[in-house]
Amino acid sequence: MKFKDLFSEIFISLLANKVRSGLTILGIVIGIASVIAMVSIGQGASNQITKSIEGLGSNLLNIIPGTLRPGVGIVSSGRGSAQTLKNDDVEVIEKIDGVYRVSPEVSRRFQIIGINGKNTNSTVFGVTENYPIVRNLNISSGVFISESQNRSLARVAVLGPQAAYDLFGDEDPIGKVIKINKINFLVIGVAAPRGSVGFVNYDDIIYVPLLTMQKVLAGIDYLTVMAVKVESKDLINQVRDDIIYNLSIKHRVDPQNPDFTIASQEDILGTLNQVIATFTIFLASIAGISLLVGGIGIMNMMLTSVTERTREIGLRKAIGAKERDISLQFLAESVVLTLIGGIIGIILGSLIAISISYFAGISTSVSLFSIILAFGVSTIIGIIFGYYPARRASKLNPIEALRYE
Amino acid sequence: MIELKNIWKIYKNDDLETVALKNISLEIKEGEFVAIMGPSGSGKSTLMHILGCLDTPTSGKYFLDGEDISKMNDDELAEIRNKKIGFVFQSFNLLPKTNVLRNVELPLVYAGISPKKRQERAKEALNLAAFPNKFWYHFSNQLSGGMMQRVAIARALVNDPKIILADEPTGNLDTKTGEIVLETFQNLHDKHGRTIILITHEPYIAEYAQRIIKIKDGELIDDFKNNNRRIINNK
Ligand SMILES: Nc1ncnc2c1ncn2[C@@H]1O[C@H](COP(=O)(O)OP(=O)(O)O)[C@@H](O)[C@H]1O
Ligand SMILES: [Mg+2]
């Protein structure tokens, strides 16, 4: 039998069983659509995080107190639990060649009260004038905290756009007073939006002078993190080594085993992407299970089809169909069904992904890779789950088959 | 053209052995119209399956056109069936939800013949089987029994076979439509010189053939020229 004739045979017999063909296709559609949607969500999350983290500053090294426990990861290491970073560490680091600026930071959550009883529970960052340079923060109105305000323990605050909205609504907050932990602060500026990364919403942050934070609000003398901006990308490793060496000497600890951890932006990015990849694989495997169920549906339908069409198979063999003609027909029927299901599934899955980013605001990305993967997977499912029924059909004895009622 | 030599067919199911054909030897020449007759269970269908290359004998030799069929594998048999044999079954065995023309074309599809040629030959065969052309594009399942059997006859003719094998072709039809089908066979033989083997358990139907072979319990018990041949003469 010729290839073209094979297709017209398949076309005729699939159309002769529209409902059953449709239901079988549906099984594959659901499987493929969920794979596409899940992978797009994972891919989208990964892209967004990469973009946001890059937006938080480039050529950055983050110095975190405490040691990194292997297997636990940087992200989950107890931020602020160790108290080994002190304010005078900044001077040590600033002296290192290649260091552009250092931003020492302390963060805490506080209850904040605005006007008319509006309040939020936001993260307050104690920072210096270097913060906007190191962390790529822009000011949309007013000014940022200055060096002298820091030195004089000024009670001034710069609001993230989200915090500004929560505390003042549409009113201009500049010149107004907020209460952080029951202490009055004068609002001097509002930051431009930066979005959120993972669970951290950078727009909900309130910035105060570092020393005010340490002495007035928190009553501590250590730092939760130091961000170091390096002059250029190729100096990062060298600067990292110098920081480890010099800071270890100052802390009187072994440089092989320092009491702090340095993570570059790339390290954090890598870890986060790894987490997302794991998450995506998890989602995709759930979707894969529904694909498997779809495949079993195909096999079930093809086996039913072989049984129902026993006489037809017998007839085809009687008039000259060879084993190969029969098995190819059934195999191709199953592949055509899964391919149709695959194409509809890709379209549906992409639509789901697009509506998720439209309605839920989660960014998604339908990649060519996932489309090709879905095509491949649906074809392979068609072949694998169609093979057994096709073989069974081709091995039918024409005499028995013709007698079958 | 057909030569059976000492054909035995024994079915083995678990411990049960059924001897369906016992030492059958016969010859059928090109252009003959033969009826194989016998009571139910006598082995007629088994014989037809062997003649039609659907099955191979347990022992004995079968030469079709000088070729030894007894030792061929399944795919070789399929090719012989496709080229040399046309089947007409009691229950028509047409593809449902498929139009008449496509049903008739089917053997040519497996022969790898081009669509244009297939159509031409299918239409010729339908004319030969006296099938009215206004139904060519109807689904096979929308036709009456007599019409269905004529489609089946056209399908049996389309590959220009050496033999047409019909197993109880009138079994599912009333007497009148049965006669129309028998008339079709008669014309194919008398006017177009086709070789026809008609299998039946009814003596009255066997009488339309030129030669009658009787079998009973798997044995050939009679083989004679039919001198009182029934002829349908409508015109
Ligand atoms: N596949 C089979 N397995 C076992 N016995 C069979 C099989 N086919 C036919 N027979 C037996 O062979 C004998 C002849 O059957 P068959 O050729 O169908 O007779 P007929 O067509 O004359 O009615 C019967 O006894 C039947 O039961
Ligand atoms: Mg029979």
Residue A132: which pLDDT band, with cuts at 50, 70 and 90? very high
The residue among B214 and A16 whose pLDDT is bigger is B214
| Probe residue for ligand 1, chosen from B13, B44, B46, B49 as the CB with the greatest number of ligand atoms within 8 Å | B46
Helix (H) or strand (E) holding A29: helix A18-55
Q: Looking at the predicted structure, is the pLDDT value of residue A320 above 90? A: yes
Select the residue of B81, B83, B98 nearest A12 (Cβ to Cβ): B98
Identify the pLDDT of residue B39. Answer: 94
- Per mean pLDDT, which range of A17-21, A121-125, A181-185 is the poorest? A17-21
Return the residue whose CA atom lies nearest to atom 26 of ligand 1: B41
Ligand nearest to the CA of B49: 1
Q: Looking at the predicted structure, is the pLDDT value of residue A331 above 90? A: yes
User: At the topology level of CATH, where does B30-57+71-225 sit?
Assistant: Rossmann fold (3.40.50)
Yes or no: say if A93 and A242 are a contact pair by the CB < 8 Å rule: no
Helices A323-355 and A265-308 cross at an angle (nearest 10°) of 140
Residue A80: which pLDDT band, with cuts at 50, 70 and 90? very low
Under an 8 A CB cutoff, do B93 and A320 touch? no
Counting other chains too, the contacts that B120-125 makes at CB distance below 8 Å and 24 or more residues apart are B121/B158, B121/B160, B122/B154, B122/B158, B124/B158, B125/B154, B125/B155, B125/B157, B125/B158
Identify the pLDDT of residue B233. Answer: 78
Q: Looking at the predicted structure, is the pLDDT value of residue A78 above 50? A: no
Burial class (CB in 10 A: 0-12, 13-18, 19+), B66: exposed
Q: Looking at the predicted structure, is the pLDDT value of residue A75 above 50? A: no
Smallest CA–CA distance, residue B229 to chain A, in Å, is 31
Helix (H) or strand (E) holding A132: helix A131-135
Give CA–CA dist A72/B174, Å, rounded.
85
Residue A74: which pLDDT band, with cuts at 50, 70 and 90? very low
Burial class (CB in 10 A: 0-12, 13-18, 19+), B68: exposed
Select the residue of B49, B107, B115 nearest A319 (Cβ to Cβ): B107
Identify the pLDDT of residue A127. Answer: 96
Residue B163, phi then psi, degrees to nearest 5: -130, 145
Yes or no: say if B69 and B4 are a contact pair by the CB < 8 Å rule: no
Identify the pLDDT of residue A68. Answer: 63
What is the maximal distance between C-alpha atoms in chain B?
56
For range B193-210, the mean pLDDT: 93
Enumerate the domain spans of chain B.
30-57+71-225
What does the pLDDT look like over B26-76, one tens digit per residue?
999 999 999 999 999 999 999 999 999 999 899 999 999 889 988 889 999
Identify the pLDDT of residue B60. Answer: 93
Q: Is A111 helix (H, G, I), strand (E, B) or coil?
A: strand
CA of B53 to the centre of ligand 1 (A): 16
What does the pLDDT look like over A158-168, one tens digit per residue?
999 999 998 98
Yes or no: say if B38 and B217 are a contact pair by the CB < 8 Å rule: no
Residue of A nearest to B164 (CA): A319
Identify the pLDDT of residue A126. Answer: 95
Burial class (CB in 10 A: 0-12, 13-18, 19+), A147: exposed
For range A228-233, the mean pLDDT: 89
Residue with tokens 């942050």: A205
How many Cβ pairs within 8 Å bridge chains A and B? 66
Residue of A nearest to B77 (CA): A320
Residue with tokens 């602020």: A80
Give CA–CA dist B188/B208, Å, rounded.
13
The count of other CB atoms within 10 Å of the CB of residue A357 is 16
Q: Looking at the predicted structure, is the pLDDT value of residue A28 above 60? A: yes
Under an 8 A CB cutoff, do B75 and A316 touch? no
The alpha carbon of A264 is separated from its chain's Cα centroid by a whole number of angstroms, namely 19
Return the residue whose CA atom lies nearest to atom 14 of ligand 1: B43
Q: Looking at the predicted structure, is the pLDDT value of residue A106 above 50? A: yes
Nearest to A162, CA basis, from A208, A111, A121, A212: A121
The structure's pTM equals 0.71
Residues in B closer than 8 angstroms to A402, CB to CB, are 89, 93
Under an 8 A CB cutoff, do A318 and B54 touch? yes
The residue among A40 and A190 whose pLDDT is bigger is A190
Q: Looking at the predicted structure, is the pLDDT value of residue B158 above 80? A: yes
Contacts of B186 (CB under 8 A, 6+ apart): B33, B208, B231, B232
Smallest CA–CA distance, residue A380 to chain B, in Å, is 27
Helices B74-84 and A323-355 cross at an angle (nearest 10°) of 100
CA of B179 to the centre of ligand 2 (A): 20
- Per mean pLDDT, which range of A65-69, A213-217, A248-252, B110-114 is the poorest? A65-69
Degrees, nearest 5: CA angle A30-A33-A34: 85
Identify the pLDDT of residue A258. Answer: 87
Q: Percent of chain A scored above 70 by pLDDT? A: 95
For range A177-197, the mean pLDDT: 89
Ligand nearest to the CA of B40: 1
Residues in A closer than 8 angstroms to B111, CB to CB, are 320
Residue of A nearest to B79 (CA): A320
- Per mean pLDDT, which range of A65-74, A163-172, B182-191 is the poorest? A65-74
For range A219-242, the mean pLDDT: 90
Q: Where are the beta strands (DSSP E) in A130-259?
A: 139-142, 156-159, 177-180, 183-191, 196-197, 200-201, 206-209, 225-230
Give CA–CA dist A295/A25, Å, rounded.
10
Identify the pLDDT of residue A124. Answer: 94
| Probe residue for ligand 1, chosen from B7, B10, B18 as the CB with the greatest number of ligand atoms within 8 Å | B18
For range B95-118, the mean pLDDT: 93
Residue B234: which pLDDT band, with cuts at 50, 70 and 90? low
Under an 8 A CB cutoff, do A399 and B83 touch? no
Tokens (6 digits) for B28 = 């059928």
Residue A278: which pLDDT band, with cuts at 50, 70 and 90? confident
Helix (H) or strand (E) holding A11: helix A3-16
Identify the pLDDT of residue B215. Answer: 96
Residue of B nearest to A314 (CA): B93
Sequence letter at residue A293: V
Nearest to A132, CA basis, from A84, A196, A192: A192
For range B170-185, the mean pLDDT: 89
For range A36-46, the mean pLDDT: 83
Yes or no: say if A72 and A403 are a contact pair by the CB < 8 Å rule: no
Alpha carbon distances (Å) from B89 to A18, A290, A311, B94, B212: 28, 45, 12, 10, 19
Under an 8 A CB cutoff, do A399 and B75 touch? no
For range A65-89, the mean pLDDT: 65
Sequence letter at residue A224: T
Yes or no: say if B92 and B149 are a contact pair by the CB < 8 Å rule: yes
Contacts of B180 (CB under 8 A, 6+ apart): B130, B146, B150
Pocket lining for ligand 1, CB < 6 angstroms? B 11, 13, 18, 20, 38, 40-46
The alpha carbon of A140 is separated from its chain's Cα centroid by a whole number of angstroms, namely 28
Q: Using the CB atoms, write b or e for B140-178: b if 16+ within 10 Å.
A: beebebbbbbbbbbbbbbbbebbbbbbbbbbebbeeebb
Q: Looking at the predicted structure, is the pLDDT value of residue B85 above 50? A: yes
Q: Looking at the predicted structure, is the pLDDT value of residue A76 above 50? A: no
Under an 8 A CB cutoff, do B49 and A325 touch? no
Identify the pLDDT of residue A271. Answer: 79
Under an 8 A CB cutoff, do A322 and B79 touch? yes
Under an 8 A CB cutoff, do B89 and A402 touch? yes
Q: SS3 letters for B95-141? A: CCCCEHHHHHHHHHHHCCCCHHHHHHHHHHHHHHCCCCHHHCCCEHH
ipTM: 0.93
Sequence letter at residue A273: N
CA of A324 to the centre of ligand 1 (A): 29
For range A183-204, the mean pLDDT: 84
Under an 8 A CB cutoff, do A319 and B75 touch? no
What does R_g of chain B's alpha carbons equal in angstroms? 17
Q: Looking at the predicted structure, is the pLDDT value of residue A182 above 50? A: yes
Residues in B closer than 8 angstroms to A12, CB to CB, are 95, 97-98, 102
- Per mean pLDDT, which range of A288-297, B34-43, B164-173 is the poorest? A288-297
CA of B40 to the centre of ligand 2 (A): 7
Residue of B nearest to A325 (CA): B110
Smallest CA–CA distance, residue A4 to chain B, in Å, is 10
Yes or no: say if B131 and B160 are a contact pair by the CB < 8 Å rule: no
Smallest CA–CA distance, residue B114 to chain A, in Å, is 9
Q: Looking at the predicted structure, is the pLDDT value of residue B235 above 70? A: no
Mutation test of the interface with chain B: which of A9, A11, A18, A319, choosing the one with the most B Cβ atoms within 10 A? A319
Give CA–CA dist B224/B235, Å, rounded.
29
Ligand nearest to the CA of B39: 1
